[in-house]
Chain A
Amino acid sequence: MNNLKKAPPVLILEDVAVAYKIRGGEIEAVQNVSFEINRGETHGIVGESGCGKSTVAWAVLNFLGANGYVKRGSIKFQGQELVGVTGEELRRLRGDQIAMVYQDPMQALNPSMRLGDQMSEVLTVHRDMDKKEAEKRCIEMLERVYMPDAANVMNRYPHQISGGQQQRVVIATALLNNPALLIMDEPTTALDVTVEAVVLDLIADLRREFDTAIMYITHNLGVVARVSTRVGVMYAGEMVERGTVEDIYKDPQHPYTQGLMRCVPKLGADKASSILYPIRGRVPPPNNRPVGCVFSPRCDYVREICHNKRPELLEFSSGVSVRCHFAGEIEADKWSPSDDILPPEIITDTSPREPILKLDNLKKYYEVQGSSLKDILGLGEQRYVKAVENADFDLPRGTTLGVVGESGCGKSTLIKTIIGLEQTTEGHAEFMEIDITDEISTRGEDVIKELQMVFQNPDSTMNPSYTVGQQIGRPMKRFSTVPKDEIRGEVIKLLESMRLGENYYDRLPRQLSGGEKQRVGIARALASHPNLVLCDEPVSALDVSVQAALLNLLLELQQEYDTTMMFIAHDLSVVRFFSDQVAVMYLGQIMEIGPANAIYAPPYHPYSEALLSAVPIPDPSAEQKHIRLEGTVPSAINPPDGCRFHTRCPRRELLPDGGAICETEMPPWRETAEGHRIFCHIPLETLNTFDPVITQKPEGSNHVS
């Protein structure tokens, strides 16, 4: 790995500090960051949000906005100092020598220009190439990023290709000038897991092929493990640890890195691997960082010196450098969780309980308004988006059903239909023996009260105009579950069970962090003591350490109140530990449903298998089967006949005639002993022969038979 001797590094950052001017002073967003990137190396930068990852990238490009500037230190790119470079010189560097790939490809591409024009612009501007030649180069480049039908894509507009393909176009554009440095800022965060897997493969290939230095910024430890050679871990504007991927993941030295590793779900074969231990507290805001070590308020090993003196960067012979006073002395193996972050013990009650929610072939179709004259006159054939098709399951009282699937698979529509924000198109749904196929405005208060929801986005889950207390108290007032004069006491009790104190009662949403807002959102949903709580990705917008704490909290509350839950997530590993039952959805159809353990071990549905193999795992020693889905998710307006997954199914060949039956007939439900159902034509005996997707490399002993 040590190619320092070969050539000088492409990029050297030395003791860089970036400051933003604000009203009445300035904030140092980034301090003392030093690292270098060599040719052909992917240097990952990980950290939670607000840690200054993107600021470092922008500092390299001098893209800090009107009020930001590099306060100290130097940034050398191929020997040239970048700090202070402005105007024409900078413009020539950007997009030529240094290229950048952003998070959302939809926003990185101009929707009103053909892709070919956008791409060739890079060459005609920076290289003075004539248009014909530029186009030829573009097509070549598109082919190198495995774009199918490259010549044709040049003539299309961004909305005509899928998200994964858009990101490929952005990457191809970035590579056109063969830049010496490629900065990627969360390039796969906006993509679905199966698409993300393909893009990550591409990035890994490109590094080998192009010999470019890549700076890869992400919050996802799993993604870094897959693409990087070296990793820098950032915390509160400082780089706290840096080393090769193997060293960092196997033997993290800094207490923050260790803590981070413990709060990421691992998705191993056994359930214990998905126990999460959150880091207590939260990331300090840039204007209020502690005097000594930035991590000291949250550190388990904190001593006197940590509060007073900032630690220096200690370099080890292995090449790992750590910013901690006690680096090398802390052994992660000897760590044991303190009481306040211990996950709740799970009492699994195996006695069957009566179902609280019964769905029977539930369907939700949306009418689509066509644009032809015939459609407008109402003569054309009515078309539907088939958002949910034949949802059919029982949910026993006190259990949790996790629903996973990629975006657009209908999981949100499913819970919206159950809660009554949408009207059921067909089928039956019963909740506590009451029919709930109608809309919420026609439902009785007794049903409304028992069915509540937790939302995804912490920034919009709370009304910014009301205090925490008012918002949690409102359901109590509305359903008169608590006498008026006792509401305050009841709200405070609820706040305390959310681990928020009484002092939160009068706070406004803008004074809370994302995790705290989400806790208030949960408290509001629980305020009327509902029997069923529907959670729509409640943790996916949160940082891992916060996410872990919230998941543990939810689990605890569920046991305390004996609430039944439906839990939507796109992240398979989050659902793993949390749910008793898991349902995997694809294009409106439940493909597989069963006890959580059964989903993550063979027999798999081919789609679940592909999903599992796409999830990036924050463990370089874990081996994952390499299954990549081809093509894109078909439109829900015209879903494929037969099995909806047949157009992309990698396991079809296992059936006679290459799976001709999949194209015409709906598959049967194949049921195993423990209530595990798989919606597939492939017989169970064959499905049983699949290997587990994730195995530990050499010393892996926990195979599931």
Chain B
Amino acid sequence: MKAKTKKKSRLQKFWDSVSLILASRVATVGSIMVLFWLVLAFISLFWTPYDYNASDFLQNLGPNPQNWLGTDHLGRDIFSRLMKGTQVVLLKTRLPGEGNIIIPGGVAIWGVIGSMALGVTMGLNAGYRGGWWDQVIMQILDALIAFPRIVLYLVVIAALGQGDLVVILAISITGAPGVARLARSLAMDIKTRDYIRAAETRGESVWYIMFKEILPNASGPLLVDGMLRVGYAIFAIGTLGFLGIGLPPPDPDWGNMVNEARRNIFSNQLAVIWPALAIATLVIGLNLFADGLREEMTRYQK
């Protein structure tokens, strides 16, 4: 009986969030774009039109009935490669070492989780404790921001080598300052509320107050920010791939696809445009989704 009521409320909750998305046209469009890529990614787990790494066709073909989006400079089917490419971004991460261990959740997702964990911890400490904590943490973060992002990527990858985990680490470190600033400002606002005073007069520990009293109330804006950050992360993966230091083969990487096709740009423009379009639509979709969600969430706030 009890479990049943709980289940119903969860369904209700799910429906509430769906209707929240549908209430905003921007979020609806965004979620359709993201869902499109998610569905493609799931299908690619079981089926792609052709083998994504086999040179089965003529090189640099335009779109035709066999190859919907054409083929690349090695005669591989671009559509199959695009489909497969969504996996590393959204669905799986390949751990280094023997036996090709794969964990669920794409590189972009883990990168954002990493930067959130790092940024939230630093931001809450800076915002809630204030004083020297705030000074020191913010100085470190400001120093990080002062570096050009690409240089940071290069430093991390040059130091640690290539691999999915390294890309995740690079994204985490470059994303953390932004998250920390947001978390800090939220913490500074929330710590003035009376319920924080109540927790203090109860003698609660600093960590309890930060993570149990403040964090749940800051989670709304942080989640929306995280969603935007998935977009930035995909962008970053694209950039790294383009520089040739991104996700390692054998799985195709959109950024790398652009990079490789770039050499033949005068004979086969479409081979550059398709992966670029893929990155763009996924990022724009996520941005629209997050923006619409934020708007809809703040509209009925008291």
Contacts and interface: CB of A to CB of B under 8 A. Distances in A.
B195 A478 contact: no
B216 interface: yes
Interface in B184-199: 193-195, 197-198
> Which of A419, A420, A455, A463 is the most central at the interface, judged by chain B CB atoms within 10 Å of its CB?
A463
Given A440-B203, A445-B203, A478-B202, A421 B197 contact: yes
Given A460-B193, A478-B203, A478-B204, A465 B198 contact: no
B135 interface: no
A455 B217 contact: no
Interface in B180-225: 193-195, 197-198, 200-204, 213, 216-217
B195 A443 contact: no
Contacts of B217: 463-465
A414 to B, nearest CB: 15
A122 to B, nearest CB: 33
A474 B197 contact: no
A114 to B, nearest CB: 31
A452 interface: yes
Nearest to B218: A465
A124 to B, nearest CB: 38
Interface string A667-704: 00000000000000000000000000000000000000
Nearest to B299: A23
B285 to A, nearest CB: 25
A23 B217 CA distance: 25
Interface in A454-498: 455-457, 460-466, 474-475, 478
Given A463-B213, A464-B217, A475 B194 contact: no
Contacts of B195: 460-463
Contacts of B216: 463, 465-466
Nearest to A463: B195
Question: Size range of the interface on A?
Answer: 20 to 34
Contact of A475 (B23, B193, B202, B302): B202
B201 A451 contact: yes
A240 to B, nearest CB: 27
B74 to A, nearest CB: 54
A356 interface: no
A448 interface: yes
Contacts of B201: 419-421, 440, 448, 451-453
A451 B201 CA distance: 8
Nearest to A444: B203
A521 B300 CA distance: 25
B115 to A, nearest CB: 23
Nearest to A465: B216
Contacts of A23: 23, 300
Contact of A461 (B194, B200, B202, B300): B194
A465 B216 CA distance: 6
Give the interface centre of B23, B193, B200, B203 by most chain A CB atoms within 10 Å. B203
B226 to A, nearest CB: 18
Interface in A383-424: 419-421
A420 B202 CA distance: 11
Given A463-B217, A464-B217, A465-B217, A456 B202 contact: no
A464 B194 CA distance: 11
Nearest to A455: B194
A455 B204 CA distance: 17
Contacts of B194: 455-457, 460-461, 521
Nearest to B217: A465
A448 B197 contact: no
A524 interface: yes
B198 A453 contact: yes
A421 B217 CA distance: 22
Contact of A453 (B23, B193, B197, B204): B197
Contacts of B198: 453, 455, 461, 521, 524-525
A453 B201 CA distance: 7
A321 B201 CA distance: 52
A366 to B, nearest CB: 15
Interface string A255-288: 0000000000000000000000000000000000
Interface of B: 23, 193-195, 197-198, 200-204, 213, 216-217, 300, 302
17 contacts: A23-B23, A419-B201, A420-B201, A421-B197, A421-B201, A440-B200, A443-B203, A445-B203, A451-B201, A452-B201, A453-B197, A455-B198, A460-B193, A463-B213, A466-B216, A478-B204, A510-B302
Given A448-B203, A521-B194, 4 more contacts: A23-B300, A440-B200, A460-B195, A478-B204
Interface of A: 23, 419-421, 440-441, 443, 445, 448, 451-453, 455-457, 460-466, 474-475, 478, 510, 521, 524-525
